[in-house]
Amino acid sequence: MSKNIKTFNLKEGAFPIKMDLMFEDIDLQNIGRLKDSIYGNIEISLISKDLFRCEGSINSILIDNCQSCLRDIEVNLNFLFNLAIKDEALMMDDDSSQDQTHYQNLEYFDVKQLIQEEISLNYPNIVKCEDNCLEINPIEKEEKNLPFKKIRDLID
C-alpha cells in the first residue's frame, strides 16, 4: 500500500498504472470525520494523447451526525468508479457528452485530489441513522433552568 504518493506526470510513463492507496486524512468540508484510513484501488489507462480512463474502488468509514437526532453514526463508503481524465486546460473547450470526467493538470496529477473528489461526489446527501429515527429514539427535552421557580412555587 502506498501512503505518500502526491503527484506524478501522466504524460510520461508506461500504462496501465495500477495503485493500491491508503490515505489517513481528508481535506473536504461538510462531510463527516474520518474514522479509519481511506483505501483505494485504482487503474489508469491511456486512451489517447490527452485522454485517460480511471477505474477503481474506494473504501472508507466516516463519522457524521444523523440529520434528525444529531447522534454520531458511521457512514460506510464502498463504491466503484469509472471515469475519464483530461487535462484541465481542455475543460472549457470540452464538448464531449461524458458524464464522469475529472479535470486536472496531467503533468502534476494528484491522486489524492481525485480520490477526494470521488468521495465528495459519492457521499450521501442525507445522513440518517434510521429512516424513522425520531420515532425510535425520541429526543429527551432538558429541563430549563428557571431561577425564580422556587419563589413561584411558594406563592402558589
- Omega before 138 cis (within 30°)? no
Provide the residue range defining the domain that includes 35: 7-155
Residue 47 pLDDT: 92
Contact between 75 and 65 (Cβ < 8 Å): no
**Cα–Cα distance for residue pair 149/153, rounded to 1 Å:** 6
The residue that leads in pLDDT, 141 or 103, is: 103
* 94-124 pLDDT per residue, tens: 666 666 888 999 999 999 999 999 999 999 9
Q: Does residue 81 lie within any of the structural domains?
A: yes
Burial letters for 12-21: b for 16+ Cβ neighbours within 10 Å, e otherwise?
eeeeebeeeb
Q: Does residue 1 lie within any of the structural domains?
A: no
pTM given for the model: 0.77
Determine which of 53-57, 108-112, 120-124, 137-141 has the lowest per-residue pLDDT on average: 137-141
Which residues have CB under 8 Å from 12's CB, separation 6+? Answer: none
Residue 49 pLDDT: 84
Q: In the chain, how many domains are there?
A: 1
